[in-house]
Amino acid sequence: MKETNRIKKVDLNNYETDENGDYIVPVGMKVYVSETVDDMIKNVEDKISEIELIEPSNEELIEFAKEMHPYYHELEKKDRLLNELNELKKLQ
C-alpha cells in the first residue's frame, strides 16, 4: 500500500501563485478541498428541512402492516408459484 502523508491544515500563503492567481501545487502533491464544518452543518440542515413528515392514519398503518407482515409475503409467493405451476401444466 502506498504511504501518503496527510496534512490536516495547509497555509496557502506558503505556496506560489500563477498569473491567474491560482496556487501552484508542488510536483508529487495533490490538493483536496474538503467541506468546512459550517458547510457540513448547512448541508445537514438543508436535508432536514427537505423532509416532510405526515403522520399516517390508523387505516394506513393497518394496511402497511398487512403488506409488510411475513404471512402476506408468503401468500404472494405461494400464489406466484401456483400460477407458475398452472402455466407449466398447460404445456403438458
Q: Could you tell me the residue ranges of all domains in the chain?
A: 12-50, 58-90
- How many other CB atoms are there within 10 angstroms of residue 15's CB atom? 14
Residues 7-42: pLDDT tens digits? 556 667 777 888 888 888 888 877 777 788 899 999
Quick one: angle between helices 70-90 and 58-68, nearest 10? 50
Percent of the chain with pLDDT over 90: 50
Per-chain mean pLDDT for the chain: 85
Is the model's pTM score more than 0.85? no
In the prediction, which pLDDT does 49 show? Answer: 94
Contacts 24+ apart (CB under 8 A), 65-68: none
Taking alpha carbons only, the member of 10, 1, 15 closest to residue 34 is 10
C-alpha cell at 61: 398503518
* pLDDT, tens digit (0-9, with 9 covering 90-100), for 48-62: 999 999 999 999 999
